[in-house]
């Protein structure tokens, strides 16, 4: 789901040319501020274990909607299989605000009770044996009380204020308007949706449109999906939609329909924008696996919430901006096919969609790629703390925290890609999506970790401890000095939050002069770690992480005149025998050569007019160990010392 943001911001993006650098993070920042005002309260999450004693197999949903009236009526028939003995009652998540007219079992009415905590408890006339398929039907009506991001909303569109009713159930809103099993552990194996509305309106929903049947002044739309679906992804939207289709060719050669339901007043504009999704689908298809619902469709349905929602096979969106539709499309893989198994793991939905939105930039609009990294890094480090793991799953603002669940979640994936390399990273994602225990089901963070470890052979325990479970980011301090064609490099770091004592990471360092440019990767595993790097040239510039692969901020890179290495140490013994050394350096002008003892005291000085080397006579020095420094404009520069 792309979080709410102000409509004027989206219109600005819509009017901008693609060649302009967008404000990638502006929409998320505005989203967070908007939602904190609108949702400054707690929600009771799905922690009660409703339905743990049965496996939900199928829903037949028959709903009556008139967008002129804030109301819903109808019935839901649910097929289930008990997984525990003694099954004599079935419970659904369902708001006590709604009126249940009756519940039937095998055609006869049975007793029920609407309990505190929005539970509909249905008493069965006899025990249903474990492993037996059975069903109940709930007939109900009412004006839902929306929660979360609305769940059930009536609004208008266009200059004529045409009414529209739409739903958005993430995270806990499905129970507001229909009896369901809302826990993140049991998807509906298949679903039929029948929506009856006044004939001048259309309904946009999940799956394939099987039929449209005229019944006098009403029309019934039948949508069917054979793919498993989470309760919060079931959706309906009813108004006077115009419709048209685009088509994407998948890697296997299949043609995928992209069905668009848009407000008539926006249809001309939308028709020029929705084709942008075609290469995006092709990109995601090539990077991971085939579009997960290719036997049905993908689509867009315009609605009035200030963002987008990845309803399975049909994204609801406020406008057809490139980055919005790319983000929501990515959810079909990450969020819909494989859904987070806990709101604690929401980054498996939102972090992935945000990063694949970024991969769209890298592949299709590469001039924006570096700016995406800069914007998201700056947003993440705007506060020193916060984990990607959601620490309060009852708070809708924390679940959908733009800085942590979206941006930092995306950057964690970026760093995993860096640490594993493209080939292994995307192979791991493919294995994650294809895992029969996860595909069209639910996953948690350890599932992703296991697949990335399996393909790479790496132990990622430390990585996930640092970047997912704990908080903050590092600030690096690099000091370097050239030693001939080698560079001596020291890396230190501080941490923005005490939950991580040290961030162990492979880090890239770029070395440059007027003619050379070399990037070296070192694994930084402890504070003050020193590296001696052979380059074949003498750099005059060092740049830390030039491509922004690692999350960090406020780094300092300093060139220093450091201590000499062992090959620059001179042993004089015995004396007065003359000892001579050749000092090799590469200046375009003369330099001062200084000989110091072990304490750093200067004991001999030479002025060299040679540009490449000089021979220093040390015959009058006492026996001992000495060191060499070259001085140019009073700046110490270490060069290689060769004993003759």
**Same domain, yes or no, for 175 and 72?**
yes
pLDDT at 639: 38
| Six-digit token string for 310 | 């990845």
Mean pLDDT of 119-128: 97
Torsions phi, psi of 294, nearest 5? Answer: -65, -20
pLDDT for 430-486, tens place per residue? 999 999 999 999 999 999 999 999 999 999 999 999 999 999 999 999 999 887 788
pLDDT at 616: 61
Q: What is the CATH number of the domain that holds 450?
A: 1.10.390.10
**Same domain, yes or no, for 611 and 629?**
yes
pLDDT at 206: 98
**Same domain, yes or no, for 502 and 397?**
no
Q: Domain total for the chain?
A: 4
Q: Are 480 and 559 in contact (CB under 8 A)?
A: yes
Q: Quick check: is 303 in a domain?
A: no
- Alpha-carbon distance of 333 to 367, in angstroms, equals 26
**What letter would DSSP give residue 611?**
S
**Same domain, yes or no, for 219 and 368?**
no
Confidence grade of residue 37 (pLDDT, cut at 50, 70, 90): very low
pLDDT for 362-398, tens place per residue? 999 999 999 999 999 999 999 999 999 999 998 889 9
pLDDT at 11: 33
Q: Which comes out higher in pLDDT, residue 283 or 638?
A: 283
- Alpha-carbon distance of 415 to 428, in angstroms, equals 14
CB atoms within 10 A of CB 335: 23
Q: What is the mean pLDDT of the chain?
A: 87
**Same domain, yes or no, for 109 and 234?**
yes
* Final residue before a domain boundary, out of 500, 534, 559: 559
pLDDT of 331 > 90? The answer is yes
Q: Quick check: is 343 in a domain?
A: yes
Q: Are 420 and 431 in contact (CB under 8 A)?
A: no
- Alpha-carbon distance of 538 to 521, in angstroms, equals 18
Q: Quick check: is 297 in a domain?
A: no
Host H or E run for residue 582: strand 580-584
pLDDT at 579: 53
Q: Quick check: is 221 in a domain?
A: yes
Q: What is the CATH number of the domain that holds 234?
A: 2.60.40.1730
CB atoms within 10 A of CB 459: 9
Confidence grade of residue 592 (pLDDT, cut at 50, 70, 90): low
At residue 345, the 3 state secondary structure works out as helix
Share of the chain above pLDDT 70, in %: 81
Contacts of 366 (CB under 8 A, 6+ apart): none
- Alpha-carbon distance of 357 to 349, in angstroms, equals 12
Q: Quick check: is 408 in a domain?
A: yes
Q: Quick check: is 443 in a domain?
A: yes
Q: Quick check: is 272 in a domain?
A: no
**Same domain, yes or no, for 105 and 227?**
yes
Per DSSP (E only), the strands in 118-207 are: 119-128, 134-142, 151-157, 162-168, 190-198, 202-205
pLDDT of 35 > 50? The answer is no
pLDDT at 466: 98
pLDDT for 521-546, tens place per residue? 999 999 999 999 999 898 999 999 99
pLDDT at 569: 47
**Same domain, yes or no, for 428 and 485?**
no
At residue 522, the 3 state secondary structure works out as strand
- Alpha-carbon distance of 451 to 431, in angstroms, equals 6
pLDDT for 406-422, tens place per residue? 999 999 999 999 999 99
pLDDT of 507 > 50? The answer is yes
| Six-digit token string for 440 | 């069209």
Q: Which comes out higher in pLDDT, residue 330 or 8?
A: 330
**Same domain, yes or no, for 571 and 554?**
no
CB half-sphere exposure, 49, CA atoms < 13 A: 2
- Alpha-carbon distance of 195 to 641, in angstroms, equals 85
pLDDT of 627 > 80? The answer is no
Mean pLDDT of 1-8: 48
- Alpha-carbon distance of 499 to 5, in angstroms, equals 32
pLDDT at 21: 61
pLDDT at 463: 98
- Alpha-carbon distance of 155 to 66, in angstroms, equals 12
* Helix runs in 336-485, H state only: 347-364, 369-380, 396-399, 409-420, 422-434, 445-456, 461-464
| Six-digit token string for 127 | 């025990």
- Alpha-carbon distance of 445 to 435, in angstroms, equals 14
**Same domain, yes or no, for 450 and 482?**
no
Lay out the sheet containing 162-168: strands in order across.
151-157, 162-168, 236-239, 202-205
Confidence grade of residue 149 (pLDDT, cut at 50, 70, 90): confident
**Same domain, yes or no, for 550 and 450?**
no
Distances from the Cα of 482 to the Cα of 555, 556, 561, 627, angstroms: 20, 18, 8, 16
Q: What is the CATH number of the domain that holds 535?
A: 2.60.40.1910
Q: Which domain holds residue 554?
A: 474-559
Q: Quick check: is 323 in a domain?
A: no
Share of the chain above pLDDT 90, in %: 75
**What letter would DSSP give residue 402?**
I
**Same domain, yes or no, for 457 and 495?**
no
Which of these ranges, 145-159, 201-215, 604-618, has the smallest mean pLDDT?
A: 604-618
Confidence grade of residue 622 (pLDDT, cut at 50, 70, 90): confident
pLDDT of 643 > 70? The answer is no
pLDDT at 481: 87
* Final residue before a domain boundary, out of 539, 559, 579: 559
* Final residue before a domain boundary, out of 525, 541, 559: 559
- Alpha-carbon distance of 177 to 345, in angstroms, equals 25
> In this structure, are strands 255-262 and 298-302 parallel, antiparallel, or unpaired?
parallel
pLDDT at 421: 97
**Same domain, yes or no, for 179 and 107?**
yes
């Amino acid at each position: 789901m792309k979080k709410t943001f102000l409509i004027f911001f989206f219109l600005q993006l819509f009017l901008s040319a693609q060649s302009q650098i967008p404000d990638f993070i502006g929409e998320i920042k505005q989203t967070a501020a908007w939602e904190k005002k609108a949702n400054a309260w707690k929600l009771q999450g799905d922690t009660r274990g409703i339905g743990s004693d049965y496996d939900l197999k199928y829903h037949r949903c028959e709903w009556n909607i008139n967008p002129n009236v804030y109301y819903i009526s109808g019935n839901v028939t649910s097929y289930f299989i008990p997984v525990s003995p003694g099954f004599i009652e079935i419970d659904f998540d369902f708001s006590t605000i709604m009126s249940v007219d009756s519940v039937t079992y095998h055609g006869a009415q049975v007793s029920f009770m609407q309990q505190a905590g929005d539970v509909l408890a249905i008493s069965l006339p006899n025990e249903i044996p474990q492993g037996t398929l059975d069903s109940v039907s709930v007939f109900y009506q009412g004006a839902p009380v929306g929660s979360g991001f609305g769940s059930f909303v009536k609004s208008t569109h266009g200059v004529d204020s045409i009414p529209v009713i739409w739903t958005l159930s993430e995270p806990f809103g499905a129970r507001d308007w229909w009896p369901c099993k809302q826990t993140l552990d049991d998807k509906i194996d298949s679903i039929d949706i029948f929506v009856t509305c006044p004939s001048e309106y259309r309904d946009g929903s999940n799956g394939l449109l099987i039929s449209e049947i005229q019944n006098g002044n009403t029309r019934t739309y039948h949508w069917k999906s054979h793919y498993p679906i989470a309760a919060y992804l079931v959706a309906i939207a009813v108004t006077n939609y115009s419709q048209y289709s685009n088509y994407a060719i998948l890697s296997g050669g299949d043609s995928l329909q992209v069905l668009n339901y848009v407000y008539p007043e926006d249809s001309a504009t939308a028709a020029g924008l929705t084709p942008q999704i075609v290469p995006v689908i092709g990109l995601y298809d090539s990077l991971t696996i085939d579009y997960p619902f290719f036997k049905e469709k993908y689509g867009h349905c315009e609605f009035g919430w200030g963002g987008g929602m990845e309803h399975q096979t049909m994204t609801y969106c406020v406008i057809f901006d490139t980055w919005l539709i790319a983000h929501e499309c990515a959810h079909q893989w990450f969020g819909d096919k494989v859904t987070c198994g806990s709101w604690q793991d929401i980054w498996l939905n939102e972090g992935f969609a945000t990063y694949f939105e970024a991969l769209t930039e890298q592949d299709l609009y590469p001039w924006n790629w570096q700016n995406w990294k800069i914007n998201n890094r700056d947003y993440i480090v705007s506060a020193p703390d916060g984990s990607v793991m959601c620490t309060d799953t009852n708070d809708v603002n924390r679940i959908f925290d733009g800085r942590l669940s979206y941006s930092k979640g995306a950057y964690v994936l970026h760093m995993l890609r860096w640490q594993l390399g493209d080939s292994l990273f995307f192979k791991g994602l493919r294995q994650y999506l294809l895992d029969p225990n996860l595909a069209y089901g639910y996953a948690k963070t350890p599932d992703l970790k296991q697949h990335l470890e399996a393909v790479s052979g790496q132990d990622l325990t430390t990585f996930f401890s640092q970047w997912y479970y704990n908080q903050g980011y590092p600030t690096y301090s690099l000091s370097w000095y050239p030693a001939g064609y080698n560079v001596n490099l020291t890396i230190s770091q501080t941490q923005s939050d005490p939950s991580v004592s040290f961030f162990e990471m492979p880090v890239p360092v770029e070395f440059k002069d007027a003619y050379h440019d070399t990037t070296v990767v070192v694994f930084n595993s402890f504070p003050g770690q020193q590296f001696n790097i052979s380059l074949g040239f003498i750099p005059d510039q060092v740049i830390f992480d030039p491509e922004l692969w690692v999350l960090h901020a406020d780094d300092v890179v300093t060139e220093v005149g450091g201590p000499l290495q062992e090959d620059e140490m001179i042993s004089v013994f015995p004396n007065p025998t003359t000892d001579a050394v050749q000092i090799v350096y590469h200046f375009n002008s003369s330099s001062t050569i200084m000989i110091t003892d072990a304490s750093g005291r200067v004991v001999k000085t030479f002025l060299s007019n040679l540009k490449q080397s000089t021979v220093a006579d040390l015959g009058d020095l006492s026996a001992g160990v000495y060191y060499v420094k070259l001085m140019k404009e009073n700046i110490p520069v270490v060069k290689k010392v060769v004993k003759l």
